[in-house]
A and B are shown apart, each in its own frame.
Chain A
């Protein structure tokens, strides 16, 4: 059986000659898994209290430097959705004495990548650079993170760019499906019900004062941390960090942490159809509100999802792709944020098989609450646990792991215990979390497709109350983008 690990010394295999041919009657059993030497984290602090974590990696002459700020899009106030996203996008559009073009030219000339952006739970300015150019790039990063100037013409430029992007996102069925799903689950007032960039209305209304206000209250050394990973030594890189970020002082008062409104799970199953005339596939999203990152069910959820839709051999993919050929792939995800994000099962399926595919989705969602066979459980746990070293391969990978640790307050021994925590998950744990988080009778079902072809068959499934939404219902009216000169 696959659960038994048999150790075979490599030397034993080499006795076979090529002419004879190797024994192919059984797959070779891997020996004991290698242990990942976790990178040592040097934890320091700058004069102003900014925490600095350094990980030395000397294989490739590059460095990754991330300044993390613990305010994200989830903190956007009502009526100003898109604020964090636009604020961080503006950091590179003018900073210190440099214009947007000068920043871009200097960074490009150094062969560096500099990006500022916001996730749900944090924002970041991230620099990746050949280590020989690190000392040249850091002051530019410092300007961008600490001395943004928010030029008015740049704000108008980004506003038009974002309104146009929003207009273009109405073209893509997968984007429509994802936004519809978020909208019907979380509504218009909860931050998770609207795209990170906001709506046409909020993008048009956000002012330079709004951006400065958020910047001043969020970008403070007491609400931030600096991560440095790469071909550096802690002692040599700290003075550079100190000269770049050590003099940083808060500009305004910290804002009180806003609270996301309470949100109700759907009481019963609901179906939402969005018309995309002539579409070759239907984009399907099924699920509800899942769990927060802090859930004690974290490890069983990882195993559950790997079995259900988180790996190639998962049930959803094997059914919809390999068995029926309805889709190029099918998957499921628990989007674990500081506040509970969605659980979603998803696929793009061929139009004429839309109802059949929905049926198969529910076959698998209903079946997952039954006890999981031992070999499937072992495979899923090994897939997660044994692959863990890959998450620490590049400087970017390592910096993201450190970000998770800081943003979600993971314990000191989180990575050291990760593998054993996954391996400790039992079939009973998986069944318990499946029963808790996979309740198909209360799931929201979103289908974006060619309604004249798919609607009768989808309605005939009697999945639940069925509503037809337009793209305008989901996105609001198409944004008016002022053309140049206006």
Chain B
């Protein structure tokens, strides 16, 4: 474990960069660095502190290294249901007080669950850091002290309504659930949706909550980032004070993942209450940060990023036979997938659209994109690194990014290395990624058709 404190300069806003002449093409690449201090508490909690005095705010950001991939068949959706329970009070915080105390201090909070991890953040004015750390540490250490079956029941109903609102009652909402079922076989930890199946949400019990907390919510399976307007030494003392008494738990064993590959072309058609059909084509691709992952981000841009991208230009702009098209790499820890999705205009068919998608992918597989297409994508990716520096808290803020990089690479300040993955790409890398990872004969084709069209 890294316990040594490392200080780096934040050179993002160096005057040299601000005043460098803006030539077309890639300007001299500035180095992105984010200063931080890192230490590990005796109970195993990894802590990262980052000062930023732009506005008088601090964010407390925790990643638990558990997501829906750790669930078992029959209890899907549990990691996310558990996330909801983390806001329901803890040993020294009665139900409702977590939110009401934070609101009284001008704070906001939220959490989210993916296949791979669960994250939580609290944003508060800098005078309320002590309160935020108290609340965050109390639920890490003492969640079960106030947990009751009634609490679980209440959030079970809320989560079922989240599922209804976000999937069942949303146009095309079922497609994203069916897509991963088609990509990953029964028993693979990415087969089921993060939101879970209704029956499994019904079955989740209070005993499951106790077991899940004990197994996965130990400080040694979490990382804490505090970022914003504070002095590092003082914040470190507060973190040690509030998290020091959280008991260490058992080590979590690494996941053993069944290998996964698609065989042939798998097709499925769903009906939905929609006006227009929709085509989704997907491939299994390398995990996040593995070779090919960054190149596939650029493949997504070349195919469907902006008006001049190949699929958008042909389908939506020139031919005007599609209303929308998207393409991109969905990066995940164990296995990723690349998705192309298009919705035809009224009067046009999925077959017309699919033929052109296939032509454009085949073209990219046989001939590298132009240097201009690659540079256009890289310049946008580089700009996104700056844009992501503007907010310290919340989802995607600097604190969340430090925790993300720490979780996936062991290095919170992996910004420059991440950007380096893209800067190293050549046009032939893009061609090679398209050729290797988007085969025409091993993929999933999911279509959604309007209900009325099947009744005819």
Q: Which A residues are closer than 8 A to B by beta carbons?
A: 2, 8, 10, 13-14, 16-19, 21-22, 24-25, 27-36, 57-62, 100-101, 104-105, 108-112, 128-136, 157, 160-161, 164-165, 167-168, 170-173, 231-232, 276-281, 283, 311-313, 318, 321-328, 348-350, 378-380, 382-383, 385-390, 392-396, 478, 480-484, 486
Asked if B390 contacts A109 (CB within 8 A), the reply is: no
In the bound assembly, the distance between CA atoms of A321 and B165 in angstroms comes to 13
Asked if A328 contacts B165 (CB within 8 A), the reply is: yes
In the bound assembly, the distance between CA atoms of A327 and B158 in angstroms comes to 6
B255 at the interface (CB under 8 A from A): no
How many interface contacts (CB-CB < 8 Å) are there between A and B?
A: 292
Q: How many whole Å from B107's CB to the nearest CB in chain A?
A: 8
Asked if B376 contacts A108 (CB within 8 A), the reply is: yes
Asked if A383 contacts B104 (CB within 8 A), the reply is: yes
Q: List 15 A-B contacts (CB under 8 A).
A: A18-B244, A21-B244, A22-B245, A27-B92, A36-B55, A61-B17, A61-B386, A100-B307, A105-B376, A111-B383, A111-B384, A168-B276, A327-B158, A328-B161, A382-B105
Contacts of A482 in B (CB 8 A): 347
Asked if A481 contacts B345 (CB within 8 A), the reply is: yes
Asked if A109 contacts B229 (CB within 8 A), the reply is: no
Q: How many whole Å from B95's CB to the nearest CB in chain A?
A: 8
Q: How many whole Å from A318's CB to the nearest CB in chain B?
A: 7
Asked if B18 contacts A131 (CB within 8 A), the reply is: yes
Asked if A325 contacts B158 (CB within 8 A), the reply is: yes
Q: How many whole Å from A22's CB to the nearest CB in chain B?
A: 5
**Contacting A394 at CB < 8 Å: which of B124, B305, B376, B391?**
B391
In the bound assembly, the distance between CA atoms of A16 and B276 in angstroms comes to 64
**Contacting A348 at CB < 8 Å: which of B92, B99, B135, B169?**
B169
Q: How many whole Å from A94's CB to the nearest CB in chain B?
A: 12
Asked if B234 contacts A135 (CB within 8 A), the reply is: no
Contacts of B421 in A (CB 8 A): none
In the bound assembly, the distance between CA atoms of A231 and B138 in angstroms comes to 40
Q: Which B residues are closer than 8 A to A by beta carbons?
A: 12-13, 17-18, 20, 22, 24, 27, 30, 42, 52, 54-57, 91-93, 96-97, 99-101, 103-108, 123-128, 130-131, 134-135, 138, 142, 153-158, 160-162, 164-166, 168-171, 229, 234, 237-238, 240-242, 244-245, 273-276, 305-308, 313, 316-317, 319-321, 323, 343, 345-348, 372, 375-376, 379-384, 386-387, 389-393
Q: How many whole Å from B453's CB to the nearest CB in chain A?
A: 14
A167 touching B346 in the complex, CB below 8 Å, given contacts A109-B379, A390-B123 = yes
In the bound assembly, the distance between CA atoms of A391 and B362 in angstroms comes to 47
**Contacting A104 at CB < 8 Å: which of B103, B306, B343, B372?**
B306
CB nearest to B312 among chain A residues:
A104
Q: How many whole Å from B202's CB to the nearest CB in chain A?
A: 13
**Contacting B13 at CB < 8 Å: which of A58, A167, A276, A481?**
A58
Asked if A172 contacts B131 (CB within 8 A), the reply is: no
Asked if A28 contacts B131 (CB within 8 A), the reply is: yes
In the bound assembly, the distance between CA atoms of A395 and B96 in angstroms comes to 34
Q: How many whole Å from B379's CB to the nearest CB in chain A?
A: 4
A318 touching B169 in the complex, CB below 8 Å, given contacts A167-B346, A393-B55 = no
Q: How many whole Å from B413's CB to the nearest CB in chain A?
A: 16
In the bound assembly, the distance between CA atoms of A260 and B347 in angstroms comes to 38
In the bound assembly, the distance between CA atoms of A160 and B56 in angstroms comes to 47
Asked if A130 contacts B345 (CB within 8 A), the reply is: no
A168 touching B106 in the complex, CB below 8 Å, given contacts A22-B241, A28-B130, A104-B306 = no
Enumerate the 4 nearest inter-chain pairs by beta-carbon distance, A residue then B residue, closest first.
A386-B106, A325-B157, A18-B244, A111-B383
CB nearest to B27 among chain A residues:
A132
**Contacting A383 at CB < 8 Å: which of B106, B153, B166, B316?**
B106
In the bound assembly, the distance between CA atoms of A390 and B138 in angstroms comes to 26
Asked if B106 contacts A22 (CB within 8 A), the reply is: no
In the bound assembly, the distance between CA atoms of A472 and B135 in angstroms comes to 50
Q: How many whole Å from A12's CB to the nearest CB in chain B?
A: 11
Q: How many whole Å from B452's CB to the nearest CB in chain A?
A: 11
In the bound assembly, the distance between CA atoms of A392 and B389 in angstroms comes to 14
Contacts of B91 in A (CB 8 A): 24
In the bound assembly, the distance between CA atoms of A123 and B245 in angstroms comes to 55
CB nearest to B387 among chain A residues:
A62
Known: A170-B275, A385-B106. 20 other contacts (CB 8 A): A13-B238, A24-B138, A25-B92, A27-B92, A33-B127, A60-B13, A131-B18, A132-B17, A136-B24, A168-B323, A171-B275, A172-B170, A280-B164, A312-B99, A325-B157, A326-B157, A328-B162, A328-B165, A481-B347, A483-B347
In the bound assembly, the distance between CA atoms of A394 and B91 in angstroms comes to 37
Contacts of B346 in A (CB 8 A): 164, 167, 480-481, 483
Asked if B382 contacts A130 (CB within 8 A), the reply is: yes
In the bound assembly, the distance between CA atoms of A10 and B42 in angstroms comes to 22
CB nearest to A20 among chain B residues:
B245
Contacts of A387 in B (CB 8 A): 106-108, 125
In the bound assembly, the distance between CA atoms of A397 and B308 in angstroms comes to 29
In the bound assembly, the distance between CA atoms of A173 and B384 in angstroms comes to 33
Q: How many whole Å from B78's CB to the nearest CB in chain A?
A: 17
Q: How many whole Å from A161's CB to the nearest CB in chain B?
A: 7
**Contacting A27 at CB < 8 Å: which of B108, B135, B142, B383?**
B135
In the bound assembly, the distance between CA atoms of A132 and B28 in angstroms comes to 10
Asked if B105 contacts A171 (CB within 8 A), the reply is: no
In the bound assembly, the distance between CA atoms of A348 and B104 in angstroms comes to 27
In the bound assembly, the distance between CA atoms of A172 and B108 in angstroms comes to 29
**Contacting B57 at CB < 8 Å: which of A161, A390, A396, A486?**
A390
Contacts of B130 in A (CB 8 A): 8, 10, 13, 28, 30
CB nearest to B383 among chain A residues:
A111
In the bound assembly, the distance between CA atoms of A325 and B153 in angstroms comes to 9
Contacts of A157 in B (CB 8 A): 317, 320
CB nearest to A58 among chain B residues:
B13
CB nearest to A108 among chain B residues:
B306
In the bound assembly, the distance between CA atoms of A164 and B274 in angstroms comes to 12
Contacts of B107 in A (CB 8 A): 386-387
In the bound assembly, the distance between CA atoms of A111 and B383 in angstroms comes to 5
Contacts of A31 in B (CB 8 A): 127
Q: How many whole Å from B270's CB to the nearest CB in chain A?
A: 14
Asked if A30 contacts B158 (CB within 8 A), the reply is: no
In the bound assembly, the distance between CA atoms of A276 and B273 in angstroms comes to 9
